[in-house]
Amino acid sequence: MGILNKIRNMVRADTVEVDDILLSALFPNREVPLTREQAKQIPAVNACIDMIASTVSGLPLKLYRQTEKGVEAVTNDIRVDLLNKDTGDTLTAKQFWRMIIEDYYLGNGAYAYINRCGRRVKSIHYVENEHISVIRNENPIWKDFDIYVDGEKYYPFEFLKFLRKTRNGSESVPLMEESRLIFSVAYQSLIYEETLVKKGGNKRGFLQSAKKLTQEAIDKLKEGFKKLYNNNQENVIVLNDGITFKEASNTSVEMQLNESKEANNIAIAGAFKIPYPLIGGSGATKEHRENFMRFCIAPLLADLECSIDRDLLLEKEKAEYYFAFDTKELTRGNIEERYKAYEIGLKNNFLQVDEVRDKEDLEPLGIEWIRLGLDSVLYDPKTKMIYTPNTNETKQITENKMMQQEQSREGVKENEDRIKE
């Protein structure tokens, strides 16, 4: 935080430090949000986008229907294929989601045109931000807007719209606008390093004065340092009146810039809600991966799903249908953990064999028996049949009979306990 504190306390009223002037030269536009292209030059930003995009694009997106019998997956719907395999455009579904994620975080929102023929969706077309403009009305309550693509007007319902932290339902808040200081410091540090490389690593210097400088002298120093650090051929600044030379490569500011590299990366990863060890550090643990899913991916998926439901479902479908990403592969743990969990579920009768097989993507066996005793009695709740494997007997039983049998067993046990006493 040393360099950030210096940036925030750049110039004091009673004195001017040379390190402050150097910082001013290094970060002349620190309060201005970076452009998307500038942000993408920061390696940590690309690493975060890549990790999120690869995670989201690798998850199956499914369409579900809520019925009286429960929830069932809908497989024969073209919208499922368009968002998982081929969009019907030049982009595959994986490429589509990659661009959606990048626009979601770094752009003004992610937009995709829905090509419909009547009520049927034929294809989905990603549209780059540079071609999109949004015209909103001025009513703060009854908000409305139109979308223009290279000047051609479209209505909101014609687009899939993925908007990060939107305040108006039409545009996102880019992450580098929300965390402008963090992104600016990281970017300016890269520019400074690039300048050093282009100048061949020659030692450069600046001049330091033991006395308080006039405003004119301060302005000259600032201008000199801009020339020094903005990729030109000057390597020193020459002034008179007792100002002494000091090597710029050994200043506390430069040392802080080097020391703050990792701090910048950690801060950027934090802005994306990604634990830093997952993108550049070492020692990534299971807890880091779980936190990534909990704090980054889960909220993002919920936001994407809501947008898809709003824009891609027909009004009459919204009461029964919904889209959801299948995160089973990411959350089910290793094979030993899963099998131990299944064992507990089966022993305690809140899981059945076919439910376990479904979680492991295996074909069902058609076994719906619930274990009632220690490997002695199996019960089918649908048919109310009891099967005894030891005797190979099957009986149908009512709930009353089951209660009577249970009470009878409890009575026998009580008698046995009394005899033992």
Q: Are residues 41 and 145 in the same domain?
A: yes
Q: Are residues 256 and 377 in the same domain?
A: no
Q: Are residues 220 and 273 in the same domain?
A: yes
Q: Count up the domains in the chain and report the number.
A: 3
What is the pLDDT averaged over residues 59-73? 91
Q: How far is CA 328 from CA 316, 349, 361, 376, in A?
A: 29, 22, 10, 33
Listed range (106-110, 153-157, 200-204) with the worst mean pLDDT: 200-204
pLDDT value of residue 107: 95
Task: Read off the pTM.
Answer: 0.70
Q: How far is CA 33 from CA 49, 106, 146, 173, 236, in A?
A: 18, 11, 26, 12, 31
pLDDT value of residue 16: 40
Top-confidence residue, 287 or 418: 287
Dihedral sign for Cα atoms in the order 379, 383, 386, 392:
negative
What is the pLDDT averaged over residues 282-293? 90
Say how many C-beta atoms besides its own lie within 10 A of residue 365's C-beta: 9
The answer to whether residue 48 sits within a structural domain is: yes
Q: Are residues 25 and 60 in the same domain?
A: no
Which tokens in the block code for residue 140? 């703060």
Check pLDDT > 70 for residue 316.
Answer: yes
For every residue of 321-332, DSSP letters joined together read EEEEE--HHHHS
- Please state the φ and ψ torsions of residue 81, each to the nearest 5 degrees: -65, -40
For every residue of 254-272, DSSP letters joined together read HHHHHHHHHHHHHHHHHHT
What is the distance between the alpha carbons of residues 336 and 352, in angstroms, rounded to a whole number? 19
Check pLDDT > 50 for residue 149.
Answer: yes
pLDDT value of residue 292: 95
pLDDT band at 353 (very low <50, low <70, confident <90, very high): confident
Q: Are residues 118 and 232 in the same domain?
A: no
The answer to whether residue 112 sits within a structural domain is: yes
pLDDT value of residue 352: 78
Q: Are residues 384 and 401 in the same domain?
A: yes
What is the pLDDT averaged over residues 333-348? 77
The answer to whether residue 322 sits within a structural domain is: no
CB of 141 within 8 A of CB of 151? no
Top-confidence residue, 143 or 200: 143
Check pLDDT > 80 for residue 409.
Answer: no
The answer to whether residue 312 sits within a structural domain is: no
Q: Of 133, 154, 173, which residue is a domain's last?
A: 173
Q: Are residues 150 and 196 in the same domain?
A: no
Range of the domain at 208: 2-33+178-278
The answer to whether residue 314 sits within a structural domain is: no
Q: Are residues 349 and 360 in the same domain?
A: yes
pLDDT value of residue 362: 73
The answer to whether residue 386 sits within a structural domain is: yes
The per-residue pLDDT of the chain, averaged, comes to 80
Q: Are residues 165 and 212 in the same domain?
A: no
Q: Of 146, 173, 200, which residue is a domain's last?
A: 173
CB of 33 within 8 A of CB of 180? yes
Q: Are residues 136 and 202 in the same domain?
A: no
Q: Are residues 74 and 158 in the same domain?
A: yes
Q: Of 173, 193, 214, which residue is a domain's last?
A: 173
The answer to whether residue 313 sits within a structural domain is: no
What is the pLDDT averaged over residues 141-151? 96
Q: Are residues 378 and 348 in the same domain?
A: yes
